[in-house]
Amino acid sequence: MPESMSFSLTQLNISLLIPMSISLLGGIVLLGVGVFNKIKSRDLYITIALLFVIVNLGFLILEANPLFAPGFFGMLLVDGISLLAQIIMLITTLILLLFFMRQNAFDETQNAEFYALLLFALVGFSFMVSSQNLILILLGLETASLSIYALIALHNKQVAFEASIKYFVMGALATAFYAFGAMLLYATTGSVNLVSIAKFLLQHNYEPSILVFAGFTFLIAAFGFKISMVPFHTWVPDVYEGSNSLLAAFIAIVPKIAAFSVIISVFSIFLKSHSPFVEYTLYTLVVLSITLPNLIALAQKDVKRMFAYSSISHSGFVLAAILIGTQEAFSIVFLYWILFLFANLGAFGILWLSADSKYNHSFKSFSGMIKTNSTLAIFLSLFMFALAGIPPFSVFWGKMYLILEALSADYIFLALVMVANSTIAGFYYLKLVVYIFAKDSNGIGDYQPPLELSSKVAIGICAIMSVGCMFMVQNLLDIISYYLKIY
């Protein structure tokens, strides 16, 4: 065989598949246990899921260095961006599973299929963030999305079915946009590999091309659906409302960090062209995504829907870092999302824990909560301070570093928009705190269920990170920057 035709299994770098394989095996084991175990045990299912998540997380942390090499003919690459995204997704799932261990009356959480689908979603997102190929990114995205559609529908309520269908329709539309955008890029460059596309555009000095700009437009619409960017955000409030609180938290964090990781790789190619069309389009969408949801959140009477709109605004902040486009800004993408995830998980976890107290999710239902359930009231208020970006709590540091980076890159107007919207966000987050402390109790939630150890651990992790991040934020940023240098 000629040397040019020689092939070795080592060229595939099969170790790249280990993180995905661990989650996939976990999902298969859960399905098998659910089928063959006659006695359904929710605690057993959660324990199995926790075991595989911890093993996967440990592998990524301990065996990271050997993974930094392309495999499968350049289609897969577990680089710094991929590694950070997968670690964030696994930490999120780990904390959510600790919350799920609390006894509850939701039928979907009693079955093995629910936790298997969570792991299958992780498999899809892991492939998505570890790919350099537009086709494989799409396959990973669709694998994860199909799992989430099913997870929402398992809630088995009218609003859940409506939310699942709306998410499915919007997801199908996003897929169509993505496929058409990828096709246009392939027609222009002759490749679906991101590295090859970047090299082609560089060789041609990023000459203006209608097909390239059209491909960019379709791709930004496709990813806009996934990160709930304005004007592609309309599905978010209904999906949050139709899901249980912890699944809503999963949807708010995991799919978005996966999408942001891909956006960094894809949009960096176009931003390097310094095209006014690309920059002004992203600039406009960033400003709209930060501002419009904030204004809508002010008028919300339901806490879950308020969280939905606020998460859209947080996505706008992160997208602003990608628009700035510096290496430091890319580090802030992950720093911001890490700080956001703990405060967000804590807030949604409180909604989950208070459900047994017969709370609904209206602001009025939390009136006087400090008297009826003081522990949850104090922690929920803490997470509101963190999400509002009040110093020295977690999200404040993400916003501060981002605003400083915007100023250093001469995005003065963008920095002013972020400052103004941070002030607006304080009003609707602190509105809930006012209800908790200053309003009279309406008699809802007089029963105060004891917190189980798993719930205490989950809340403790979120609270420690939301408060103690001031002592570790620079270390976090240094670690993130170290991994991104490999990218």
Stretch 164-187: mean pLDDT: 86
Domain of residue 312 covers 10-485
CB within 8 Å of 278: residues ≥ 6 apart: 213, 216, 270, 271
Is the pTM higher than 0.75?
yes
Specify the amino acid at residue 328: E
Closest Cα to residue 236, out of 261, 217, 218, 253?
Answer: 253
Q: Which position has the higher pLDDT, 445 or 221?
A: 221
Asked if residue 231 has a cis previous peptide bond (ω within 30° of 0), the answer is yes
Confidence of residue 2 (pLDDT cuts 50, 70, 90): very low
Answer whether residue 5 is part of any domain.
no
**Residue 104 reports pLDDT greater than 80:** no
Q: What is the DSSP string of 17-34?
A: GHHHHHHHHHHHHHHHHH
Question: Is 342 within 8 Å of 473 (Cβ atoms)?
Answer: no
- Find tokens 């080592």 and name the residue: 10
Task: Write the pLDDT tens digit of every residue in 7-31.
Answer: 555 666 777 788 888 889 999 999 8
**Residue 38 reports pLDDT greater than 80:** no
Of 67-71, 194-198, 326-330, 411-415, give the lowest mean pLDDT range: 67-71
Share in percent of the chain as helix, strand, coil (round to 5): 80, 0, 20
Stretch 412-437: mean pLDDT: 90
Domain count, the chain: 1
Stretch 358-365: mean pLDDT: 68
Burial track 124-162 (b if 16+ CB lie within 10 A, e otherwise) = bbbbbbbbbbbebbbebbbbbbbbbbbbbbbbeeeebeb
Answer whether residue 220 is part of any domain.
yes
Question: Is 123 within 8 Å of 160 (Cβ atoms)?
Answer: no
CB within 8 Å of 179: residues ≥ 6 apart: 138
Question: Is 366 within 8 Å of 435 (Cβ atoms)?
Answer: yes
CB within 8 Å of 238: residues ≥ 6 apart: 159, 162, 163, 166
pLDDT at 12: 65
Answer whether residue 110 is part of any domain.
yes
Confidence of residue 359 (pLDDT cuts 50, 70, 90): very low
**Residue 362 reports pLDDT greater than 90:** no
Answer whether residue 83 is part of any domain.
yes
**Residue 93 reports pLDDT greater than 90:** yes
Answer whether residue 20 is part of any domain.
yes
Task: Write the pLDDT tens digit of every residue in 222-252.
Answer: 888 888 888 888 888 888 887 888 888 899 8
Confidence of residue 1 (pLDDT cuts 50, 70, 90): very low
Answer whether residue 4 is part of any domain.
no
pLDDT at 162: 78
Radius of gyration (C-alpha) of the chain in whole angstroms: 22
Answer whether residue 3 is part of any domain.
no
User: DSSP assignment, residue 133?
Assistant: B
Answer whether residue 337 is part of any domain.
yes
Stretch 296-323: mean pLDDT: 89
Compute the mean pLDDT over every residue in the chain, rounded to the nearest whole number: 83
